[in-house]
């Protein structure tokens, strides 16, 4: 490892707004900015409330990590709690937007558990806490497998959950970009739901 770098077992969350890119195409930039700010604020609030750390916002996407920089054993459970809360928060935002005739945005989320390298990266003028590794890349790929309102979790994340969400289904094994071996993740949704006991998978 490089100086200042740590290896940590974490769960990475990657969320992306569905429909915002098309919306931004011919809209007033100020209106687009205001809608994204509402999204950023709500997502940060739910991530931090459940013990996660926002690593970055990029356009209409957000990446967060659970289990770093402060370690915790229940990072998978915390990430799922955040995902469900984020879906609920976006639904509430959509309801507000509908009152002024603005179209709704969907939200897709991917969760991936694994070992990452964590460090402060950047220049002398600006340092940021960053995690890198396969778990980061996989979280983004899994997000792309779900529909708005759904959360797609890796096999490792599923194995680390102490409570099983419902409804949930295991997807067929498939290759994703950046992976030589197929993955068989679980898809949760489409709505924010309660948690059931182990084995009660719908």
Which residue did the predictor score with more confidence, 40 or 24? 40
DSSP for 138-195, please give it: HHHHHHTTSPTT-EEE-HHHHHH-SSEESSEEEPPPB--TT-SS-B--EEE-SS---E
* Interacting residues of 60 by C-beta distance below 8 A, sequence separation 6+: 16, 17, 20, 21, 36, 39, 105
- Bridge partners, 13 (sequence order): 64, 111
Q: How far is CA 75 from CA 113, 157, 196, in A?
A: 9, 9, 18
Whole-number Å distance between alpha carbons of 63 and 171: 23
Structure tokens given for 64: 């967060």
* Interacting residues of 111 by C-beta distance below 8 A, sequence separation 6+: 11, 12, 13, 76, 79, 80, 83, 139, 142, 151, 152, 153, 154, 157
Which residue did the predictor score with more confidence, 120 or 15? 15
Kindly tell me the burial class for residue 150, based on how many C-beta atoms sit within 10 Å of its own C-beta (0-12, 13-18, 19 or more): buried
- Tell me the CATH class for 6-196: alpha beta
Residue 192: is its pLDDT beyond 50? no
Output phi, psi for 156, to 5 deg.
Answer: -65, -40
Q: How confident is the model at residue 21 (pLDDT cuts 50, 70, 90)?
A: low
Q: Where are the domains of the chain?
A: 6-196
Cis peptide before 167 (omega within 30 of 0): yes
pLDDT averaged over the chain?
83
Mean pLDDT, residues 162-191 taken together = 86
Q: Which helix (H) or strand (E) holds 136?
A: helix 134-143
Structure tokens given for 146: 């779900």
Residue 200: is its pLDDT beyond 50? no
Secondary structure of residue 3 in the 3-state scheme: coil
Which residue did the predictor score with more confidence, 179 or 26? 179
Q: List, for residues 71-121, the tens digit of each pLDDT value.
A: 999 999 999 999 999 999 999 999 988 888 888 888 999 999 999 998 766
Mean pLDDT, residues 117-137 taken together = 77
């Amino acid at each position: 490892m490089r100086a200042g770098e740590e290896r940590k077992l974490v769960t990475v969350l990657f969320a992306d707004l569905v429909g915002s890119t098309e919306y931004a195409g011919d809209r007033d930039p100020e209106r687009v900015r205001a809608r994204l700010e509402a999204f950023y604020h709500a997502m940060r609030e739910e991530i931090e409330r459940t013990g996660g750390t926002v690593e970055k916002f990029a356009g209409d996407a957000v990446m967060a990590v659970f289990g770093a920089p402060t370690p915790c054993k229940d990072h998978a459970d915390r990430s799922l709690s955040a995902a469900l809360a984020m879906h609920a928060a976006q639904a509430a935002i959509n309801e507000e937007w509908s009152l002024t005739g603005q179209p709704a945005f969907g939200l897709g989320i991917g969760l991936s558990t694994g070992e990452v390298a964590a460090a402060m990266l950047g220049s002398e003028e600006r340092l940021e806490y960053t995690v890198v590794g396969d778990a980061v890349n996989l979280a983004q790929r899994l997000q792309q497998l779900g529909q708005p309102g759904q959360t797609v979790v890796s096999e490792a994340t599923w194995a680390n959950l102490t409570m099983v969400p419902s409804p949930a289904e295991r997807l067929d094994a498939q290759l994703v970009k950046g992976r030589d071996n197929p993955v068989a993740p679980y898809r949760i949704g489409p709505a924010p739901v309660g948690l059931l006991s182990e084995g009660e998978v719908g």
